[in-house]
Amino acid sequence: MSAEIGFVGLGSMGLPMATNLAAAGYRLAVYNRTAAKADPLVAAGARLAPSAGDAAAPGGVVISMLADDAALDSVTLGENGLARKLAPGGIHVSMSTVAPATSRRLARYHAECGSVYVGVPVFGRPEAARAKKLWICASGPAAAREKIRPVLDAMGQAVFDFGDDPGAAHVVKLAGNFLIAANIELMAEAFAMVEKSGVDRKAAAEMLVTSLFACPVFQIYGRSVAAKRYPLGISMPLGFKDLDLVVKTATEVKSPMPAANLVRDRMLSALANGRESMDWAALAIGVLEDAGLPIE
Amino acid sequence: MSAEIGFVGLGSMGLPMATNLAAAGYRLAVYNRTAAKADPLVAAGARLAPSAGDAAAPGGVVISMLADDAALDSVTLGENGLARKLAPGGIHVSMSTVAPATSRRLARYHAECGSVYVGVPVFGRPEAARAKKLWICASGPAAAREKIRPVLDAMGQAVFDFGDDPGAAHVVKLAGNFLIAANIELMAEAFAMVEKSGVDRKAAAEMLVTSLFACPVFQIYGRSVAAKRYPLGISMPLGFKDLDLVVKTATEVKSPMPAANLVRDRMLSALANGRESMDWAALAIGVLEDAGLPIE
Amino acid sequence: MSAEIGFVGLGSMGLPMATNLAAAGYRLAVYNRTAAKADPLVAAGARLAPSAGDAAAPGGVVISMLADDAALDSVTLGENGLARKLAPGGIHVSMSTVAPATSRRLARYHAECGSVYVGVPVFGRPEAARAKKLWICASGPAAAREKIRPVLDAMGQAVFDFGDDPGAAHVVKLAGNFLIAANIELMAEAFAMVEKSGVDRKAAAEMLVTSLFACPVFQIYGRSVAAKRYPLGISMPLGFKDLDLVVKTATEVKSPMPAANLVRDRMLSALANGRESMDWAALAIGVLEDAGLPIE
Amino acid sequence: MSAEIGFVGLGSMGLPMATNLAAAGYRLAVYNRTAAKADPLVAAGARLAPSAGDAAAPGGVVISMLADDAALDSVTLGENGLARKLAPGGIHVSMSTVAPATSRRLARYHAECGSVYVGVPVFGRPEAARAKKLWICASGPAAAREKIRPVLDAMGQAVFDFGDDPGAAHVVKLAGNFLIAANIELMAEAFAMVEKSGVDRKAAAEMLVTSLFACPVFQIYGRSVAAKRYPLGISMPLGFKDLDLVVKTATEVKSPMPAANLVRDRMLSALANGRESMDWAALAIGVLEDAGLPIE
C-alpha cells in the first residue's frame, strides 16, 4: 500500500494517530479545519490538503477522526465530500465515535457514490494513541476490512472484527464508552462513601486498582477520581456527546439503560455548572457535592 | 505460631480457606453450625469444636467467616462467645462481609472482654479461595494485625492494611463489592443494547474483557452476563445483603449512592421473582426483561 | 369571527375539539389524512378540505392538532403548507404537543411567510375534550392570542397565557405531561408496596385520591393503576414521545431530570415488551413485574 | 367518653391535635419530654403527667404522637410503659408515622400486656392539625376502632378504615408520604426545566396547581418550590425518616421503588449539605444546584 493515504481531523486523537502512520512509512495527505494543527505532519513530509475532499483520491484510502456526527457528515457528503472523491472503489475508514445509525446511513451513501465505508472506532485516550496502544473495532465489507488491516495495525495494539454491518463496531464502541464513564460514577460514589467513613480514599482506590480492578481504565480513572484531579483527555462536552449517543442508540432499539441515564445526567449537570473545559472524569465533582464533601 | 487456630464458619468460602490453613501446617479447631461440613477437615486432622466458643482459647486466634452480621453476633457475644473465650489477649480475625458499624461495635465489645477484634474481609469467589488467590483487607490494632499476618498470607495473594479503625477494612470491602455488583448491571445494560442492535453480545464482551477491561471481575462476570449463564458463586440473598449494607453504610455517613440503589433494587426484584438460589449475576435477567429480550 | 376556521387533524383529540367548535357556531374547513374521520363533521355542515393547505385562507385562522413534530412540519412547511396559505396575516393555532424548539422554529418560518404562529397546547384526555373541559396554554404574539381567544374558549374551560415566546406554552405543556406520567409511576410503586404489604390497593388508592390527592389526574390514573386496568386515552407511543420531548428539552437547556428518565425508561420497556397499543398508564405493569406481582 | 384521655407527644403536630381535643370537651392528661410545651394545655385545664405512663389509666385511652419509632418504643414498652399502664382493656391510639413492622410488633406487645394497640397515622401539616383538617387512617381491632372514633373525629376531617392489621394504616401513610415527597422532586425538576427554558416558573406552577393539580399538596408544595421558599412544616430529618421507612418497608416486602430511592437520596444530600433545619421541600435545592440555577 505505497499510495498516499488521506487523514482528515487532527485533534488530540487524530494527530498522534496520523503521526504513527507517518512513522510507519505511509505517505499522508492531511486535512484539518484549523490548518495549523497539521504543521508537524507537514514538516515531516505530509501533503496539506486544502479541503477534506482533496485528501481523497479515486480508489484510495482516507481516514477520518472527527468530533461528532455533524463534522463527519460535513466532510463526507456532497459533491466534494469524501464519499464521491473516493469513488470508484476507495475506502473511507471512519474512526470517529458516532451513532451506529449515522454509520449505517453513511455506508449506504458511499455505496450509492461507488465508494466503501468502514466503521472503525477506537478505544484509548490521547496518550494511548501516541503509544500505538489503541484498541480498534472494525465492521463493514470484509474485503475493505482486509485491505486496511495494515493501516490499522500501524495505529493500535489490536483490531477486533464485528462483521459486515458498518454500525456494529460503533455499537461496541458506545458500549465500551458507557462502561468507562459509568465506572467513573461508580468510583466517585464508592470513594465518597469511603471518605465520609473516615477511610483514606486514595488508599482504598490503590487497593482496588491493583487487585480486583487491575486494568488501565480503573488505574487511570480510579486514581484520578480518588485524588480529585482530572487531567484533560476527553472533554466534558465530548463525553456527554458519547453518553447521549448511548442513550439515543438504546432508545432506537428499545433497550432501557438506567445507569446510562444516571451518568448522562451527571455530565449534563457538570455542563450546567460550567465544567465544559474539564475532563469527563470531573463528573465525579457532582458526587462529591451531593455528599457535602470538599471538591478538591 | 504453632498453637491451634480456631475457624468458625465452613461455608463455600470458609471451607477452602480453612483447608489452605491446614495445608500450610496450621492445627485447626473448626466449628460449623452444620457439623458435617467439617468432615473433610476433621478427616485431615482438625479438631471438631462442639461450639464456636470451644474453638477459642485464651490468648489464641480464631477466624470467623459467616453469612451475615447476625451470625457473627451470635458466635461472638455472650458468656460462651468468642470475645470472652479469647480473653485475655486473644485475637478474633473477623473475615465475614459485615457492616463497618457492626465491626466497630464488636471491637468495643472485645476490648471490654479483654480480647482483640480485627476486621479482615476478603475479596474473591470460592474458586479464588481454593486457589489461595484471595485479596485481603485488614484493619484494627497494629500489633494484632502484625501477629496474624502469616495466617492471612496462607489464605490469600496479598494483604492490604487500612489502619487502626476496625471498620475501615469493611468499608473498603463494601466499596469493592459495590463496584463488582454495579458492573454486572452495567454489562447487562451494555450487552442488551448490543444484542438489540443486532451485534453478537458474546463477541462484544470478549473484545471488552480482553482489552480495556482485562481484569478478572470483568472476565468472570462479563462472560457470564454475555452468555446469560450464571454459575453459582455468591447467592442472590448474600449479594443483596452486601448491597443493602452498602446503602445502609452510605446512609449513616450521609453519602448518596444512586448507582448502589439501582443495583440493590435490581437484586430486590430478582428476589421478588423467585431467583433466591441463583448467583447474584442473575440480576442481569431483570435487564433482559426490561428490554424484552430472551432471558436465556 | 364569522369567517370559516380551518381544522387540521381529527384524531381522538381533534375530532371532539372540532365538534365543539361546530357546536359553538363556527363554520369549519376540516382536513384529516384519513378523510373518513371527518364524516361526522361534514355531515354537520363542515367543508372537507382536500389538503391541509386547502383548509387555510389568507388572513384566516387554522387550528392544527396532530400526533407529533413531523406531522406538524408536514402540514405547515412548503408551498402548500399552512404558513404560506395563511399569509398575509393569518394565524396558525398550533395545539399539538410538540417540542418548544419546533414551535420556535415554526414561528420564525411563519414570520418569514407573512403569517403568525401561536403555540396553544392543551391538557386533557379525549373525554375532557368532548366535555369542553380542556385546560389551554397559549403563547405567541399578543394580538394573535387576543384574536383567537373566543375560539379557544369554545374548546376548553380556561386559557392560561405565557407571553410572547411561542415555545413557552409548549414548555409548560411538557412540564405538565411529565408530572402526570411520573405520578403514574409513583402510584404504581406505592400501590405495589401496599399490595405486597397485604393491604387492599384499591382501598388505599381511594383514600388518597379523595383526600390529599383529590384532583382529576389522581382520580383517573390512581384508580386505573390500583385496578390494574388501563382504558385507552393516550397511547404508549404517544406518551413515550411526550416524555422523550421532556428529556430532549431538558437536555437542550441543561437541566437534569432523573425522574423523567425513570418514567421514560419505564415506557421504553413497555414498548420493548409489546405494549404499543395500551394506554400510557400501562407503564405500571413494569412496576408490578419488578415486584413479582400479578399484572392483572 | 367522659373519662380523661392521655396525650403523649406535644410537638408541632401533637400540640394542635391535643388542643382540638380539649376544645371538643375532652379532659386531658398530657406528657411531653420537654414539659414546657404542655403549658398552654395545662393553662386550659389539662393535667400534666410526670411520665408517659402516668398519662395512662387501666381501661383508658392514650394517644401518642411522636417523632419516630424509637420514641414510640420508649413510651410504650416496659414496666411503666403505656402498654402495661393501659391494661386491662385500655387503648393506645398510635398516631406517629412509624414502620408498619413497628406497629405490628407493638400490637403484639400490647396484646401480651392485656391492652390494645390501634395504628392511626394522620396526613396534614401543622396548620391542618390546627384547623382540624387532618386526614386520618386507622387499622387494628374493630371494637377499639369503633370506640375511639369520636376522639378521632375531634381531630380531623375524615377517618379511613383499613381493617384489622395494625400495620395497614401505617402502610397507607407511608404510601401517601412517599407520593407527597416525590411530587416535591417532580415539581422541582419540572420548574427547573421551565426556568432554564426562559419561562416564568411561578406562572407555570400557578397554571398547574389551579387546573390539573388543583389539590392542596400541589398548591402548598408547588408554590413553595416555584418560589424557592420552604416554610417549615416537616423538617428535613423527619422527612428523611419517612422516606427511609418507605424504602425499608418496601424492602421487607420485596417491592422495588426507584422513585422512592431518588427522593430519599435527594434528602440525604440535603442533610449532608447542612439543611437539617429546613422544611423537607428544600430537597428542591439539590435539583436547582444540579441545573446550575440560583437557589433563591
Spatial CB neighbours of D33, under 8 Å, sequence gap ≥ 6: none
One pLDDT digit (tens) per residue for chain A, 296 residues: 458 999 999 999 999 999 999 999 999 999 999 999 999 999 999 999 999 999 999 999 999 999 999 999 999 999 999 999 999 999 999 999 999 999 999 999 999 999 999 999 999 989 999 999 999 999 999 999 999 999 999 999 999 999 999 999 999 999 999 999 999 999 999 999 999 999 999 999 999 999 999 998 999 999 999 999 999 989 999 999 999 999 999 999 999 999 999 999 999 999 999 999 999 999 999 999 999 999 99
Rounded CA separation C155/C157 (Å): 7
Could you read off the pLDDT of D18-52 as tens digits, one per residue?
999 999 999 999 999 999 999 999 999 999 999 99
3-state secondary structure of B66: coil
Q: Which of C244, C256, C265 shows the shortest C-beta gap to A265?
A: C256
Whether the per-residue pLDDT at B138 is higher than 80: the answer is yes
Number of Cα atoms under 13 Å in the Cβ half of residue C92: 38
Grid coordinates given for D203: 406562572
How many Å separate Cα D166 from the centre of its chain?
16
Rounded CA separation D223/D207 (Å): 11
Residues 181-210 of B with CB under 8 A from A: 182-183, 185-187, 189-194, 196-200, 203-204, 207-208
Could you read off the pLDDT of C49-67 as tens digits, one per residue?
999 999 999 999 999 999 9
Whether the per-residue pLDDT at C75 is higher than 90: the answer is yes
Local confidence band at D3 (pLDDT 50, 70, 90 cut-offs) = confident
Query: Among D185, D241, D254, D289, which would you mutate to test the B interface (most chain B Cβ atoms within 10 Å of its Cβ)?
Result: D254
Mean pLDDT of C190-204: 98
Backbone angles phi, psi at B119, to 5 degrees: -90, 115
Spatial CB neighbours of A242, under 8 Å, sequence gap ≥ 6: A97, A174, A177, A178, A181, A234
Q: Which of C265, C269, C291 shows the shortest C-beta gap to B272?
A: C291
Alpha helices by DSSP H, listed for B24-167, are 39-43, 69-76, 82-86, 100-113, 126-130, 142-153
Chain B residues in contact with A246 by the CB 8 A cut-off are 193
Q: Is A248 a catalytic residue?
A: no
The C-alpha cell 373541559 sits at C133
ipTM of the complex: 0.95
User: Over chain A, what is the mean pLDDT?
Assistant: 97
Chain A, nearest residue to C262 by Cα: A258
CB pairs under 8 A between B and D: 39
3-state secondary structure of C265: helix
* Residue C137 identity (one-letter amino acid): C
Could you read off the pLDDT of B243-270 as tens digits, one per residue?
999 999 999 999 999 999 999 999 999 9
Q: Do A254 and C262 touch (CB under 8 A)?
A: no
Could you read off the pLDDT of B81-123 as tens digits, one per residue?
999 999 999 999 999 999 999 999 999 999 999 999 999 999 9
Active site residues of B: 173
Structural domains in chain D, CATH included, are 5-164 (3.40.50.720), 171-290 (1.10.1040.10)
Chain A, nearest residue to D283 by Cα: A290
Q: Identify the pLDDT of residue D2.
A: 54
Spatial CB neighbours of B140, under 8 Å, sequence gap ≥ 6: B107, B116, B117, B118, B119, B120, B164, B165, B166, B169
Q: Do D268 and B258 touch (CB under 8 A)?
A: no
